[in-house]
Structure 1
Amino acid sequence: MASSELSEKAGNDVRTEVAEAVRLERVSHRYGQGRDAFTAVGPVDLTVPAGEFLVLVGASGCGKSTLLRLIAGFERPTDGAVRVAGAAPRPGHAAGVVFQTPRLFPWRTVGGNVDLALRYAGVERERRAERRAELLERVGLGGTERRRVWEISGGQRQRVAIARALAAEHPLFLLDEPFAALDALTRERLQEDVREVTARTGRTTVFVTHSADEAVFLGSRIVVLSKSPGTVALDLPVPLPREGVDADALRESREFAELRARVSHAVKSAAA
């Protein structure tokens, strides 16, 4: 696809939604006590509008996952405030979360893992089978309900984890390096799936990665964090089309290459 076509599609894909989904106000977080205490992240000020796909990228140990846990409500900030939809986040209620490993229950089938998430989400028993089928179809696993976890590949297990995280229909979707352990081809396929699912559902998404390539492909906005304690080193909008464009053409475009180089340089400079 020509560069002019990409630019035109990007221009037609501007979101008008400006409602605030996440706000971090002077957030810092420390671990340990006394002389062993260290600041992992902050201070960070960040606002995420509803419907945005924000990617947090930076070197290992810069505080990306810490920020994600704070947004999910798994931890409370040492200083500052985190607000999700205007309130302090509560674990299990603030967002659907996907971790680096699938964390599935091996004694349950693929469908059973999704059913459990639907039950905790309060979906009525008579609606669960239909909803489970919809979720598995959405992540490309239609017809696998009866298969055991050990009978599917690593990439398919991560798809189940994504389906499970989507079960509660939280407006916020958090992913912590979910494709880090996968091979390159599976990783690209799942990147495309997540990009499509989030565009279709309009969910606000915060995604953690080390990869500049992954950040540019997925994000509508990229925040690069400095080395620990992580602060915002670069806040970059991504003016690439979100829908209606071939993934391979996007990855091979000049705009994509330029953004990837800029993010890669920023990550290296921030880690220096």
Structure 2
Amino acid sequence: MPSPSDVVTEPETRGGLRINGVSHRYGSGKDQVTALGPVDITVDPGSFLVLVGASGCGKSTLLRLIAGFETPSEGTVAVEGTAPTPGVTSGVVFQQPRLFPWRTVGGNVELALKYAKVPNDRRTERRDQLLQRVGLDGTADRKIWEISGGQQQRVAIARALAAETPLFLLDEPFAALDALTRERLQEDVRQVSAESGRTTVFVTHSADEAAFLGSRIVVLTRRPGQVALDLPVDLPRTGVDAEELRLSPEYARLRAEVGRAVKAAAA
């Protein structure tokens, strides 16, 4: 990823999000399980919201509702005032890259551009721009199995950014990666989110990841997931060295506060 410029131009922010009285259930009758809710969250455009909690607390369920993959059992989700539509209101990065192995790195991104209705004569240029943004310039002709797991997840991020959607959603995308690769990709996602101006919602079970990434952190209780803590973050998000940030006392205090809240919410 390119290093931040000395002169930062603020991007146009997009993606106001309103979660109003949302609950979600699975199954029916005596087998019915309430996974989530009720939850009320209003997210300002351009925010980086991190949903954090123990496994099974409903954070991935909430992300699917925001993406429009599922419809709430009760309540409403609105993106810029309208109900979410898969592939239109958000780009999504999953826990696994879910790339097409028979396509090249560039071919995976080009397919996303095709579905985003980018004209054919602009796709190559746009593809190269996206790959450069995620630190993969010069890899368009590589096979998927020729690149590392971290690089594959970078391709998935580029693919999610292909359409000019107001939301950028990530569901524990770095959970299977080693610690060093995970930290590098956290830094990349932080920068890409700030540069794009999109509202980002990131799901994790890690207090450390939440503290580093979020401009706002919401901790969910154990099932059915409800808001246990809604915490605005006052740490700088651009123009700061990542290592210095991780070593700062402010970061340590925030990480500890979130960690305590996650443990208490899961009890």
Q: TM-score range by the shorter chain?
A: over 0.9
Which residue does the alignment assign to 1:21? 16
Structure 2 residue aligned with 1:86:
81
State the partner residue of 1:77. Answer: 72
SS at match of 2:154: helix
For 1:20 and 1:126, the matched residues in 2 are separated by: 28
Q: CA deviation at 1:19?
A: 7.6
Q: Contact 1:17–1:49 at 8 Å: present in 2 too?
A: no
Q: What amino acid is aligned across from residue 48 of structure 1 in structure 2?
A: V
Indicate which of 238, 242, 255 corresponds to 1:243.
238
> 1:56 touches 1:206 (CA, 8 Å); kept in 2?
yes
What are the residue-to-residue correspondences of 1:125-144 with 2, within 5 Å?
125-144=120-139
d(CA) in 2 for partners of 1:82, 1:172: 13
Q: Deviations over 1:89-124 (max 9, x none)?
A: 111112000000000000000000000000000000
- Give per-residue Cα distances to partners, 1:66-110, cap 9 Å, x unaligned: 000000000000001111110111111120000000000000000
Alignment partners' CA distance in 2, 1:76 and 1:34? 19
- Do the aligned residues in 1 keep the contact of 2:22 with 2:39 (CA within 8 Å)? yes
Tell me, yes or no, if structure 1 residue 183 matches structure 2 residue 145: no
Q: Secondary structure at the match of 1:181?
A: coil
- Give the drift of 1:17: 8.5
Partner in structure 2 of residue 65 of structure 1: 60
Distance of aligned partners of 1:127 and 1:199 in 2 relative to their CA distance in 1, 3 Å threshold: same
The counterpart of 1:164, out of the listed 159, 173, 192, is 159
Residues 18 and 98 (structure 1 numbering): CA distance in 2 closer, same or farther, change over 3 Å? closer
Q: Tell me which of 261, 265, 268 is aligned to 2:263.
A: 268
Q: Distance in 1 between matches of 2:188 and 2:96?
A: 17
1:35 aligns with 2:30: yes
TM-score by length of 1: 0.93
Aligned with 1:243: secondary structure? coil
Shift of 1:201: 1.2
Aligned length: 259
Q: Does 1:233 align with 2:232?
A: no
Say if 1:100 and 1:180, in contact at 8 Å, map to a contact too: yes
Q: Structure 2 length as normaliser, TM-score?
A: 0.95
Does residue 1:212 correspond to 2:207, yes or no?
yes
**Runs of 4+ more than 4 Å apart:** 15-20
| Corresponding residue SS for 2:16 | strand
2:112 maps to which residue? 117
Identity %, equivalent residues: 73
Letter in 2 for 1:90: T
Q: Which amino acid aligns with 1:181?
A: A
- Contact 1:50–1:204, Cα closer than 8 Å, also in 2: yes
Amino acid aligned to 2:189? V
Instruction: Measure how far apart 1:20 and its partner are.
Output: 6.6
Gaps of 5+ in 1: 1-12
Assess, with a 3 A threshold, how the Cα gap between structure 1 residues 38 and 263 changes in structure 2: closer, same or farther: same
